[in-house]
Structures are given as structure tokens and as C-alpha cells.
A = this chain, B = another copy of it.
């Protein structure tokens, strides 16, 4: 295991410490729990936006704290849910008097801990409502959408919900927009290599020398199938074949496209895959209204790519266009 770390058991604490130090003009850490918040949180009169989850997905989750994005993030150990108390303190820190929207991914630990934290917050008189992202198509069949995991589509859910909050929306309006965002979002990933959790010290799964994992999860969860590695163009086609029919996305749709590397895949490769995805969408009469291509939601140093599409209506477009100024998500 070759990594720039000190104690494998302290990687998250030291990462958060470094992050808050580097960006102290924008964020601060709470003393009560491992939570990163906007420096000016809570923003009075604005619905607070909270998320959280296991670490190792940088820039998710703490990179998305900032104006026009998330107010507070509960940061768990690597690939492990934060405890309820961390979500609870996130809610308290984010509440500016209009309630809190907790927008997070569908993982059993996170759901349990958020539910507990919501009860704790209610005892304090803070209203918290939730949206649980389930955009990962390969993780459960159609009809079982509520069993699907949340992956990079969470970023678009945060973007939309946070924009509605920024524009002065009520808690119900924020929850409604975030829910509509994720309901119209589908994702999938293809993995080429595993990663090593520092405290474990060995790869989290294995793949043959020429194999790729189609439908891989953000923690190396197995997908639909292992198969021999294909060309970038074939991978692009395969991902669309899985995503498009599921919603379905159809001719005439405007979409937001988010393509993320899983960690060690160079941006060069992402843009090669993007090229073919864009061509295929154009052939189908689907219009890319806005494209994000970068490392937005990673799994330590896994190699791979994820594709996320969100079908847009006029309101989602307007909310997508609202500026954002998080450390790792800026948009004029």
C-alpha cells in the first residue's frame, strides 16, 4: 500500500483538519462531531441543506459545502456512515429557522443514522425532512427502485435542492425540488481497478488483468457483470443502453450530464468517453443542456467512470443555472 498517510486509522480526521485549514475562508469544523459547515452557517431565513456519508469519495462530500450548495456535511470513516450524533449536529448547525433538508444516499447505515438524528433534532424543535438518492440503475432492477443505491446523482440533487433554498424556497419546496431532481436522474458506473482502504491495507475486490466491472458501486460493490474491457466508444454505448430505457430518456428531452472519474482514471479518458456519449445522445435527439466532466464523486484510487443523466424541465434548468461557490464545485 503506497499512500501519503500517517496513521491509517486517522486518515479522515487528518484529512478534515487539512481541508478546513486550507479553506478556512469558506468552511469551519464543528467541535461537537466530525462535521464541516459553511463558515457563515446557519444562514438565517434559508432552508439548511445537509448531507453526509462515508469518506473516501472526495470531493464528495465535504468539497460541496458552500454558498449555493450544501450547508453542513457529516463525515464518516472511509466508506462508513457517520454516526447519528454527527447528522444531529449537522442539522443544528445548518438550521437557520426554516428547517433542514437532509439529502443523502440510499445506504442502510446512513438511513438508520439520519432517522435517529431527525428524531433528536425534532426534540429540539428543528424540522428535518429527507430525500434519499437512488440513482444507481444497476444496483436493483426496475420496480425495485427504492432498493437502489445513491451515487453521483446525489451531486445534482444537492445542486437543485440547494439552489431552491438559495432562492428562498420553503422546506417543502426544497424537498420537492430535490425529490424531483433525483426522480429524474439515473446513473451507472464501470470499474477498472479496486482501491485500498488505508486501515484494511489490501484491495477491496479483485478484477482480472483485462476485466472491467459493469455497474460497479461506489464502494466496489459488484455490478451487473464482469467482462473483458471494451473500447471507450463501446463503454459509452453500454452505459447509455442501461441508463436511457430505465427512466426512460426520450427524443426531445433536455438533460444534464455528469461524468465522473472514480479516482485514478485520467480526465483525458473521461473526455474520450464523453465524446461518444454525446454523439449517441445527439443521434437519439436528446439534448445535453449542461455537462459536468471531472472527478466529482470518487472511490479513493479506483479506476473507472460513472455516467449520470438528469432529465430537465424548465424549473430544473433554472435551478441548475443558479451560481454555486463550494470549494470543489463552483459555477458562475
Contacts and interface: CB of A to CB of B under 8 A. Distances in A.
Contacts of A210: 2
Interface stretch (A19-27, A93-101, A161-169): A19-27
Contacts of A332: 325, 330, 332
A265 interface: yes
Contacts of A192: 2-4
B232 A271 contact: no
Nearest to A263: B266
Given A2-B192, A278-B22, A268 B11 contact: yes
Q: Is the interface of A mostly helix, strand, loop or mixed?
A: mixed
A2 B301 contact: no
Most buried by B among A63, A274, A288: A274
A59 B267 CA distance: 7
Interface residues of A, number: 60
A330 B235 CA distance: 30
Contact of A331 (B16, B58, B301, B330): B330
Most buried by B among A58, A268, A305: A268
A18 interface: yes
Given A4-B265, A4-B305, 9 more contacts: A2-B192, A4-B192, A15-B275, A21-B275, A22-B293, A23-B291, A263-B264, A263-B266, A330-B331
